[in-house]
């Protein structure tokens, strides 16, 4: 007898579960996606013990009839896909038909569902993949799925679950993301003791950000919106002899982008605060990450990352979502067109917005890291930092992850702890007082730190009021007039605080011969003279270099520079680009260079330091096998270095005319917000802040 055998369904489902569900948050993700696919407008998620004990999700979607309710738990059973061609144009979040059977194979599941048309609804109970009961039940239209005792029959997986608070943090972050992507829907997340998130429908994403994270967060983000026709994406046309005249000519439609990006003053140490949604699906994509980082190049330091919420819409045919079981990765048909469009849209938005950095905000804005709520590419969402699989089980080092999460810098500048929201406790009443608010607050804090720092809870924002109201699943609440008003206020303030007035500022004085003080309508400005001049020079050098018109000056005496052999090799690689930037350098012996001419404004020790810096940076790059560093990045590096070493230094007296000149020149730059290395240039002590500080308002 042969040794090969077909695995029983239950085993196959458990194997699939390994890819689809690895922690409570990934169960929540699958169930949430199902509810959204079912057209739900209200989704309520209850979790107990971080979802380890219970996850219950209730929606008002289309529901299922008896047959479907049973079929849904079969492997590869889906209502969203029929033929392989459908795979090319998936408009739903789910399509693989794997989630429910996978979840049911590793938990005790109860499904209650009704379509509203049939006489009765259906209640199905399944444990470890076995159907225990199927009954009629009187139910309203919609579906409730309760998943209890996750991994009860797979102890090895259970071991990898983290502390309750950590799991709850992941669930919270996930629900928050989906709530952001669907401002028109009502989301609720409640734990055994409290409402963690309550977001009634609002009109716009900005309002949803305000509703969930509060005023300060919204104030640090800027809106972006753009679109491009995909038709001109440069996809190679098939040659005429391969073209089938009967093929319908498919119009790829437009690529739409909208969302929010952070002002340069807000910086993160990792990419974890960048969220990308394609057709409302939260995904992770290297290509787009790169495009976003590129948009911020020379605006924030290369070691920092922005906060970005990006929503992209495109025809489903233009993006392949069937790349990974957890559906978090995608492939674009027109990769480079999409990449460049995202980069250029963000860059243009930044240039146009010219956001001014607030003086008080800048004080606190050292970049912080956010813990990851997304897995590294090619593993299911959502993983913990490093992925749950690679972490020691909780009992081996209970504190490690918690402290990592606690260290993570929150997004908001001023931390606020949410106010407890008392609510009805519809499940597990005994558990209520055991952990109490403290436990929840810890979980909430972590969840918050993981994404942004949420500002209080939506319920305190005039949407719902009073005890219990947040849990009321009745008719729609007053959908946040206060939210709409608050959002509009932030937007108005934001529109005013930009650097467009730089050119009309009046320089008042110089502080310690290093900072220019200037007054304007909007308040008091403090400008760092060195980085301001650096920005001016940087953009001028790049522009001159573009048209091959860099001004050079001959040195009276050639400057001799000694190099090590390895540095000579690096120099040879960048010599041509240096020459185009105004240098004239000749070999002067095996290890010596003679610099005969240099860009205007760069001389003496500064010139020597600049050359040393560029050579050093270039050799650092060759270590990383970046020999083929693209020419733009070498060019910007050289320009940044020349600018830095020839700019006005601090501790240099400037007369009023020169200060005025500098402000005017700065006003003309594309990015007056920050120097090429990402430091802020001009800070505004706004009129409002001044009045507030003097207790006048």
DSSP class of residue 365? -
| Shortest Å, Cβ 173 to ligand ADP | 21
Q: To which H or E segment does residue 536 belong?
A: helix 529-546
Distance CA 11, CA 397 (A): 31
- Strand order through the sheet with 54-59: 130-137, 121-127, 108-114, 142-148, 54-59, 42-48, 186-190, 195-199
Nearest to ligand ADP of 145, 518 (CB atom): 145
The runs of H, that is alpha helices, within 48-87 are 66-71
Binding mask 610-649 for ligand ADP (x = CB under 6 A): ----------------------------------------
* Alpha carbons 412 and 266: distance in angstroms, whole number: 9
The secondary structure element, H or E, covering residue 177 is: helix 164-181
Give whichever of 75 and 573 is closer to ligand ADP, judged by the CB atom: 75
The window from 61-69, 451-459, 615-623, 677-685 that contacts ligand ADP (CB under 6 A) reads: 61-69
Site for Mg ion in 13-52 (CB under 5 A): 34
- 97 belongs to the binding site for ligand ADP (CB under 6 A): yes
Helices (DSSP H) in 562-674: which residue ranges? 565-580, 604-623, 631-646, 656-668
Rounded (to 5) percent helix, strand, coil in the chain: 40, 20, 40
Q: Exposed/middle/buried for 262, CB within 10 Å: 0-12, 13-18, 19+?
A: buried
**Spatial distance between the Cα atoms of 668 and 409, rounded to a whole number of angstroms:** 35
Q: How far is the CB of 381 from Mg ion (least distance, A)?
A: 13
Of 50, 51, 61, 94, the one binding Mg ion by CB under 5 A:
94
Q: Which stretch binds ligand ADP (CB under 6 A): 96-104, 456-464, 530-538, 646-654?
A: 96-104
Q: Which stretch binds ligand ADP (CB under 6 A): 62-70, 190-198, 490-498, 572-580?
A: 62-70
* Minimum CB–partner distance for residue 221 and Mg ion (Å): 31
Token couple for 100: 């429910």
Choose from ligand ADP, Mg ion, none: what does 652 bind? Cβ within 5-8 Å by kind.
none
| Residue among 120 and 543 whose Cβ is closer to ligand ADP | 120
Binding partner of residue 64 among ligand ADP, Mg ion, none, CB under 5 to 8 Å per kind?
ligand ADP
Tell me which of 143, 217, 298, 646 binds ligand ADP, using CB under 6 A: 143
72 makes contact, choosing from Mg ion, ligand ADP, none, with CB < 5 to 8 Å by partner type, with ligand ADP
* Smaller CB separation from ligand ADP, 81 or 469: 81
Integer Cα distance of 549 and 544 in angstroms:
5
Least Å distance, CB 99 to Mg ion, is 4
Cβ closest to ligand ADP, residue 44 vs residue 671: 44
H helices within 267-307, ranges in order?
286-295
HEC string of 649-697? CCCCCCCHHHHHHHHHHHHHCCCCCECCCCCECEEEEEHHHHHHHCCCC
Cβ 102 to ligand ADP, closest distance in Å?
8
98-137 footprint of ligand ADP as x/- string (CB under 6 A): xxx-------------------------------------
Q: Quick one: 657 exposed, middle or buried, by C-beta within 10 A (0-12, 13-18, 19+)? A: exposed
Please, are residues 160 and 264 in contact by the beta-carbon 8 Å criterion? no
Q: In whole angstroms, what is the distance from residue 34 CA to residue 606 CA?
A: 62
Give the DSSP letter string of 373-406. Answer: -SPSTTSPSSP-TT-GGGSPPTTT-HHHHHHHHH
Of 97 and 418, CB closest to ligand ADP: 97
Binding-site size for ligand ADP (CB under 6 A) equals: 22
- The footprint of Mg ion on this chain (CB under 5 A) covers a number of residues equal to 3
Name the β-bridge partners of 147. 55, 109
From 95-103, 300-308, 400-408, 421-429, give the range in contact with ligand ADP by CB under 6 A.
Answer: 95-103
Rounded-to-10 torsion of CA 643, 646, 649, 652: -140
Separation between Cα atoms, residue 273 and residue 221, nearest integer Å: 12
In the set 26, 78, 334, 646, which binds ligand ADP (CB under 6 A)?
A: 78
240 within 8 A of 479, measured Cβ to Cβ = no
Distances (CA, A) of 343 to 232, 252, 288, 384, 600: 17, 21, 8, 28, 32
Residue 97 Cβ vs ligand ADP, minimum distance, rounded to whole Å: 4
By CB under 6 A, what part of segment 17-46 binds ligand ADP?
30, 34-35, 38
In this chain, which of 25, 28, 72, 663 binds ligand ADP, going by CB under 6 A? 72
- Choose, by CB under 5 A, the member of 49, 54, 99, 451 that binds Mg ion: 99
Give the residue nearest to ligand ADP (CB): 94
Nearest residue to 456 (alpha-carbon basis) of 481, 422, 487, 420: 420
Residue 191: CB minimum distance to ligand ADP, A = 21
Comparison of 63 and 94: residue with beta carbon closer to Mg ion: 94
Q: From Mg ion, ligand ADP, none, which one binds at residue 95 (CB under 5 to 8 Å depending on kind)? A: ligand ADP
Choices 88-96, 118-126, 417-425, 680-688; region in contact with Mg ion by CB under 5 A: 88-96
Residue 546 has which token pair?
């573009």
Per CB under 6 A, the list member of 24, 50, 51, 63 interacting with ligand ADP is 63
Q: Assign 467 to helix, strand or coil.
A: coil
**Cβ neighbours around 398 below 10 Å, total:** 12
Task: List the structure tokens of 364.
Answer: 């606190």
CA 673 to CA 498: how far, in whole Å? 9
Partner whose footprint covers residue 676, from Mg ion, ligand ADP, none (CB < 5 to 8 Å by kind): none
Q: Which of residues 474-493 bind ligand ADP (CB under 6 A)?
A: none
Q: Which two tokens stand for residue 662?
A: 């500098």
Q: Which stretch binds Mg ion (CB under 5 A): 18-26, 91-99, 389-397, 567-575?
A: 91-99
Least gap, CB of 161 to Mg ion (angstroms) = 22
By CB atoms closer than 10 A (0-12, 13-18, 19+), residue 8 is exposed
Contacting ligand ADP (CB under 6 A), which of 14, 26, 62, 412? 62
Stretch that binds ligand ADP, among 90-98, 133-141, 215-223, 483-491 (CB under 6 A): 90-98
Among 17, 55, 64, 654, binds ligand ADP (CB under 6 A): 64
Residue in the structure block whose two tokens are 């500048």: 413
Toward Mg ion, which CB reaches closer, 61 or 486?
Answer: 61
Identify the bridge partners of residue 599 per DSSP, sorted by sequence position.
552
Residues lying near Mg ion in the complex (CB under 5 A) are found at 34, 94, 99
Write out the residues near ligand ADP by the rule CB under 6 A: 30, 34-35, 38, 59, 61-64, 72, 77-80, 94-100, 143
């Amino acid at each position: 007898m042969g040794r090969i055998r077909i695995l029983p369904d239950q085993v196959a489902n458990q194997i699939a579960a390994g890819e689809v569900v690895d922690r409570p948050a990934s169960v929540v993700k699958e169930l949430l996606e199902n509810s959204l696919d079912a057209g739900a407008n209200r989704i309520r998620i209850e979790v107990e013990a971080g979802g380890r004990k219970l996850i219950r999700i209730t929606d008002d979607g289309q529901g299922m009839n008896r047959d479907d309710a049973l079929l849904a738990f079969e492997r590869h059973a889906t209502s969203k896909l029929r033929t392989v061609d459908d795979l090319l144009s998936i408009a739903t979040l789910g399509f693989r038909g794997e989630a429910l059977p996978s979840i049911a194979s590793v938990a005790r599941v109860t499904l209650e569902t009704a379509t509203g048309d049939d006489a009765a609804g259906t209640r199905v109970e399944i444990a470890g993949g076995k159907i225990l009961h199927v009954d009629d039940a009187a139910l309203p239209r919609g579906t409730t799925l309760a998943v209890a005792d996750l991994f009860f029959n797979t102890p090895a997986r259970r071991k990898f679950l983290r502390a309750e608070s950590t799991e709850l943090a992941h669930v919270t972050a996930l629900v928050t993301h989906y709530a952001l992507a669907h401002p028109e829907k009502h989301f609720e997340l409640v734990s055994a003791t409290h409402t963690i998130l309550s977001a009634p429908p609002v009109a716009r994403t900005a309002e949803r950000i305000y509703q969930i994270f509060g005023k300060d967060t919204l104030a640090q983000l800027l809106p972006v919106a753009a679109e491009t026709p995909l038709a001109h994406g440069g996809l190679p046309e098939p040659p005429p002899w391969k073209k089938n005249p009967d093929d319908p000519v498919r119009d790829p439609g437009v690529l739409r982008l909208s969302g929010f990006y952070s002002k340069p003053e807000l910086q993160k140490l990792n990419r974890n605060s960048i969220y990308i949604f394609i057709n409302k699906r939260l995904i992770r994509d290297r290509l787009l990450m790169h495009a976003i980082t590129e948009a911020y190049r020379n605006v924030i330091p290369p070691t920092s990352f922005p906060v970005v919420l990006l929503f992209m819409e495109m025809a489903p045919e233009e993006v392949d979502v069937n790349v990974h079981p957890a559906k978090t990765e995608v492939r674009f048909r027109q990769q480079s067109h999409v990449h460049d469009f995202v980069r250029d849209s963000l860059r243009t938005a930044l240039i146009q917005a010219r956001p001014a950095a607030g003086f008080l905000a800048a004080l606190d804005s050292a970049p912080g890291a956010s813990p990851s709520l997304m897995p590294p590419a090619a593993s299911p969402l959502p993983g913990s930092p490093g992925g749950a699989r690679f972490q020691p089980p909780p009992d081996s080092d209970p504190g490690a992850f918690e402290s990592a999460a606690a260290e993570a810098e929150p997004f908001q500048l001023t931390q606020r702890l949410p106010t407890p929201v008392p609510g009805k406790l519809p499940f597990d009443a005994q558990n209520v007082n055991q952990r109490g608010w403290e436990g929840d607050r810890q979980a909430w804090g972590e969840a918050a730190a993981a994404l942004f720092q949420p500002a209080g809870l939506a319920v305190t924002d005039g949407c719902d009021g009073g005890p219990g109201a947040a849990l009321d699943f009745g008719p729609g609440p007053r959908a946040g007039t206060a939210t709409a008003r608050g959002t509009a206020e932030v937007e108005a303030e934001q529109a005013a605080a930009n650097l467009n007035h730089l050119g009309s500022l009046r320089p008042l004085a110089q502080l310690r011969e290093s900072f220019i003080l200037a007054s304007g309508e909007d308040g008091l400005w403090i400008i760092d003279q060195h980085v301001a001049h650096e920005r001016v020079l940087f953009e001028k050098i790049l522009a001159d270099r573009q048209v091959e018109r860099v001004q050079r000056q001959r040195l009276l005496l050639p400057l001799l520079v000694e190099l090590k052999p390895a540095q000579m090799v690096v120099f040879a690689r960048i010599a041509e680009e240096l020459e185009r930037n105004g240098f004239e350098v000749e070999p002067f012996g095996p290890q010596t260079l003679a610099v005969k001419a240099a860009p205007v404004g760069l001389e003496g020790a500064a010139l020597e330091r600049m050359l040393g810096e560029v050579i050093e940076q270039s050799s650092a790059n060759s270590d990383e096998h970046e020999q083929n560093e693209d020419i733009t990045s070498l060019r910007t590096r050289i320009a940044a270095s020349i600018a830095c070493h020839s700019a006005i230094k601090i501790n240099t007296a400037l007369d009023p005319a020169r200060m005025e000149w500098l402000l005017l020149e700065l006003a003309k730059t594309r990015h007056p917000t920050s120097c090429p290395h990402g430091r802020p240039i001009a800070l505004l002590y706004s009129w409002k802040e001044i009045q507030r500080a003097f207790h006048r308002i």
